[in-house]
Amino acid sequence: MSEYLIEVKDLCKKFPIKGGLLGREIGAVSAVNNVSFKIKKGETLGLVGESGCGKTTLGRSILRLIEPTSGEIIFNGKNIVDYTPAQMRAVRRKMQIIFQDPYASLNPRMTVGDILAEPMEIHGLHTEKASRRARLLELLNQVQLPADALNKYPHEFSGGQRQRICIARALAVEPEFIVCDEPVSALDVSVQAQVVNLLMDLQRDLGLTFLFIAHDLKVVEYISNRVAVMYLGNMIEVAESSELYGHAKHPYTKALFSAIPHASTEGRAGRIILEGDIPSPMNPPSGCHFNPRCWNATEECRKNFPPITNQSPTHQYRCYNPIQ
């Protein structure tokens, strides 16, 4: 058995663009473009990038909530891309997702008990009443909610508590791998810290593996062992989180980190302010997609798409003129 729980190889997702009177396909948006990575058991891979860079599409494609166009997803040594829906259901017990908006992802008409019991019902777990109830109480305890929450409805909880309910629902089927899609972005800072701590405790206690998607670099750097940076559907750099922060090779990574406002008035490093916006993924620039905004761009960057360079076994990037 390999040490990697999940391995993604050359994953692509293209969304068709339809136009004209007959609604014919006139093009495609490459939301995710030849992305490959591996995550070890018990590890957290952070995934950062600006809106529209494809990080959510990537997260969902891995669970096949969005069908990938091509590529392989190897989970526990098996390629799940060609699995039938029935086979997929069994695998999904092992892979779960937590969504960004805890207000929209809980059914307002179900009690918390019903919400947490539903995944167990689907997968036929804890079918006896007593054992079901014991499991529900255990779940609430794991996410530090009181036992009387079982009979309450989602509207009776605050944002942070609702996100705890979402976490408990994901844990209900004892998964090994959880995609956390911006789980703390909608929360206030003091509550955000509580949820981040909770996720890290759960990972330690239950041996979970996370793909942690967020646009907040500080949170990602904090929670992740390794961080991958995406830009317009491509993974442009991946490294251990401290390495990436201190020694980013790709100019975009460097600019992204430097744009974060620091909550201190001392020792502010020079800020790189990028010109312009992210180009439209419908019509990405030729060569390196970052070249129109890059201050290091050369003729080569405008012509060819940069290949992967191995800086070290754990640090890869795609750039012709990396930062020294």
Partner 1 sequence: MTEKILEVKDLVVEFRTDRGAVKAVNGVNFDVFKGKTLGIVGESGSGKSVTALAIMGLIPNPPGRVASGQILFNGKSLVNMEPGEMRKIRGNKIAMIFQEPMTSLNPVFTIGNQIEEVIELHQTHLSASERAAKAVDMLRLVGIPSPEKRVKEYPHQLSGGMRQRVMIAIALSCEPDILIADEPTTALDVTIQAQILELMKKLQKELGMGIILITHDLGVVAETCDTVSVMYCGQIVESADVKTLFNHPAHPYTKGLMDSIPSFDSTSGHRKERLQTIEGMVPSLFNLPKGCNFQDRCSKVTDDCRGSQGDPVLKPSKGVDHNVACFNPLN
Residues at the interface with partner 1 (CB under 8 A): 50-51, 158, 160-161, 188-194, 196-197, 200, 215, 217-219, 221-222, 240-243, 245-246, 255-256, 259-266, 268, 271, 273-274, 277-278
Smallest gap from Cβ 177 to partner 1, in A, equals: 19
- The residue among 61 and 161 lying less far from partner 1, judged by its C-beta, is 161
Residues in the chain: 324
Quick one: 84 or 264, whose CB is closer to partner 1?
Answer: 264
| Residue from 246, 278, 274 nearest 259 by CA | 274
CB atoms within 10 A of CB 24: 9
**For residue 248, with 0-12 CB atoms within 10 Å meaning exposed, 13-18 middle and 19 or more buried, which class applies?**
buried
User: In whole angstroms, how close is the CB of 240 to partner 1 at the nearest point?
Assistant: 5
Q: What is the largest CA-CA distance in the chain?
A: 69
| Nearest CA-CA partner of 113 in 165, 174, 175, 173 | 165
Q: Taking the complex as a whole, how short is the minimal distance between the CB of residue 101 and partner 1, in angstroms?
A: 14
Quickly tell me which residue has 């330690």 as its tokens.
Answer: 204
Q: Which is nearer to partner 1, 28 or 193 (CB)?
A: 193
Q: Tell me how far, at minimum, the Cβ of 106 lies from partner 1, in Å.
A: 18
Say if CB 120 and CB 132 are below 8 A apart: yes
Nearest residue (CB) to partner 1, 72 versus 243: 243
* Complex with partner 1: residue 161 or 291, whichever CB lies closer: 161
CB of 211 to partner 1, least distance (A): 17
Least CB distance to partner 1 at residue 282 (A): 13
Q: How distant, in Å, are the alpha carbons of 38, 55, 209, 247, 310 from that of 5?
A: 8, 20, 8, 27, 22
Q: Which residue number, 11 or 198, has a Cβ lying nearer to partner 1?
A: 198
Residue type, 108: P
